[in-house]
Amino acid sequence: MKGNGRIIEYALSTLARRKFKNFSIAVVFSALIAVLSSILFLTHAYKTETLKLLDNSPEIILQNMSGGRHELIPTEYIKTLSGIAGVGQITPRYWGYYYDSLTSANYTLMAVDENMRDIQLIDGRMPQTDTECAVGRGVADLRQAGLKDDFFLITGAELSVNLKIVGIFTANSAILTNDLVVMTKDSLIKFFNMPADKATDITVEVNNPAEVSMVARKIRRAFPNSRPILKNELIRTYDNIFNWRGGIVLTMFFGAIAAFMIFVWDKATGINAQERREIGILKAIGWETADVLTLKFWEGAVVATGSFLTGLILAYVHVFYFNAQFLAPVLKGWSVLFPRFQPMPYIDIYQIFVLFFLTVVPYVAASVVPSWKAAISDPDAVMR
């Protein structure tokens, strides 16, 4: 081992001798990285979950518009739709939102249909009669209800439904099933008081993915009042929304990063007498300014890498093994019913790279001048 290698070794031994001095920086640094990466990991997990869910969703969702607002759609449209070339399966969907004043949460009520076979039940089965329902785990937990328990839904119109929970489920993605209540089509129509010849929306499969936008154009021409929502557009929109969320949170963290830089600057500037003396001795016995700078670089590199890895691991464990428990209260405001889903563990190099750029680069930049100040001490200082 030559020059540089021995300086690295010496840097390690210096850090070991001054464990506590670097401890505070390492703790603050790791904490900052842990929080930042928890947020990024979680947002990214959300994004992936949502996009994964969209994978199974139909190419086109057709909504009816009236006065610029979403209206129920006549099921008779289906006949015309099936006449359009390239159109595959067409399915009317029945669903709606329900505000539950008991638990102050919004549920999504939906009628069973064949596509729901995708949803894996964790317990029980799908509703078969008009007095049965299946609910998402989030709903079950909120209501503190289990299988075979009763489930009341009340509306202002003095209509109330009493259902029995026959299934509690989760899906590939917990995000959309969490607040879900599934019942039969008839009981849903009755509950929402929907006209018999109308559905909430209509899904349209397209046989050839390349023809989606062409089919959408034809649909619009056939029903000028309708709004075809393309899956690709949805994906793009969700992507954008999640980027926004991540970005907003990050912007709030710029203050924290700036504060951290000042902290690093301060810590690195205020080297104690013993350390100053040591650098003086090194200079006196023949270390060059550049050698001390190299030493300082490696000290910083070890602290930064160590804290970075610690922070990442903490965030990883926090998000993927503890369901981001510490972040949940902060993020809860984001969605109506915050799903307690278990994000799939993943490692994304791009995100790690972004985190590195956001934390290690400021750290390095903040410690340049202080290290230099330490390195230029007079070699003859220790003779006095």
Partner 1 sequence: MDAIIRTEGVSKVFNAGLADEIKAISAVSIEISRGQITVLKGPSGSGKTTLLGLIGCMSRPTEGKIFVEGKDVAKLPERFLTDVRRKTFGFIFQHFNLIRGLTVMENVMLPLYPTDIDGGQMERRMEEILDKLDLTAKRAVRVEKLSGGQQQRVAIARAMINEPAVILADEPTAHLDTKLSEDFLNIVTSLNTEGKTIVIATHDPLIYEKPYIDNIIEMRDGAVKEAALL
Partner 2 sequence: MIFHTGVLALVAGSLIVLIMTLFSVAIALRIIIGWDITKSTAKQLILERQTYLVATIMKYVMGFQILSLFLFVYTADDIHKLFVGAMCATGSLNANPIGWSVLFAKIVIFFLCTMWLAINRVDELAEDYPLVRFKYKYLIALAPVIALEAYWQLDYFLGLRANVITSCCSSLFSDEGITVASSLASLPVGPSMYVFYGAGAVEIVLLFLLMKRPGSSPSLRYISGAWSLIFFIVSVASIISFVSIYYYETPVHHCPFDLLQKQYMFIGYPLYGSLFGGILFSMAAAVTEPFKKIDSIRTEIHNAQRRWTKISILLIIVFIIIATWPIVFSNFRAYD
Tell me which residues touch partner 1 (CB under 8 A).
Answer: 1-3, 6-7, 10, 13, 17, 274, 278, 281-282, 284-291, 294, 378-380, 382-384
Position 362 contacts partner 2 (CB under 8 A): yes
If you count them, how many residues does the chain have? Answer: 384
CA angle in degrees (0–180, nearest 5) for 13-19-21: 120
Q: Tell me the window of 64-72, 95-103, 181-189, 245-253 that interacts with partner 2 (CB under 8 A).
A: 245-253
Q: 251-254 contacts: CB < 8 A, separation 24 or more?
A: 253/35, 253/36, 253/39
- HSE of 225, CA atoms in CB hemisphere, 13 A: 12
The minimum distance between CB 282 and partner 2, in angstroms, equals 15
Position 239 contacts partner 2 (CB under 8 A): yes
Task: List the one residue out of 324, 306, 323 whose CA is nearest residue 249.
Answer: 324
- C-beta of 149 vs 291, nearer to partner 1: 291
**Count of beta carbons in the 10 Å neighbourhood of residue 254:** 11
C-beta separation of 147 from 165 below 8 A: yes
Q: What is the rounded end-to-end Cα distance, in angstroms, of the chain?
A: 34
Residue numbers 44-103 binding partner 2 by CB under 8 A: none
Per-residue tokens: 190? 């009755």
- C-beta of 15 vs 78, nearer to partner 1: 15
- C-beta of 123 vs 275, nearer to partner 1: 275
Position 374 contacts partner 2 (CB under 8 A): no
Task: List the one residue out of 286, 282, 324 whose CA is nearest residue 299.
Answer: 282
- C-beta of 97 vs 353, nearer to partner 2: 353
Over the range 50-75, which residues count as b (16 or more CB within 10 Å of their CB) and which as e? beebbeeebbbbbbbeeeeeebbbee
Binding residue for partner 2, selected from 244, 321, 322, 326, defined by CB under 8 A = 244
279 DSSP 8-state letter:
H
Q: Is 28 exposed, middle or buried (0-12, 13-18, 19+ CB in 10 A)?
A: middle
Residue numbers 284-313 binding partner 2 by CB under 8 A: 289-290, 293
Containing 100, the helix (H) or strand (E) segment is strand 95-100
Per-residue tokens: 146? 């289990």
351 binds, among partner 2, partner 1, none (CB under 5 to 8 A by kind): partner 2
285 binds, among partner 1, partner 2, none (CB under 5 to 8 A by kind): partner 1
- C-beta of 122 vs 248, nearer to partner 2: 248
Position 346 contacts partner 2 (CB under 8 A): no
Q: Tell me the window of 15-23, 171-179, 203-211, 356-364 that interacts with partner 2 (CB under 8 A).
A: 356-364
C-beta separation of 42 from 319 below 8 A: yes
The minimum distance between CB 291 and partner 1, in angstroms, equals 4
- C-beta of 98 vs 356, nearer to partner 2: 356
Position 334 contacts partner 2 (CB under 8 A): no
- C-beta of 349 vs 383, nearer to partner 1: 383
**Count of beta carbons in the 10 Å neighbourhood of residue 208:** 11
Q: Which residues bind partner 2 (CB under 8 A)?
A: 40, 232, 235-236, 239-240, 243-244, 246-248, 250-251, 254, 257, 289-290, 293, 349-351, 353-354, 356-358, 361-362, 364-365, 368-369, 371-372, 375-376
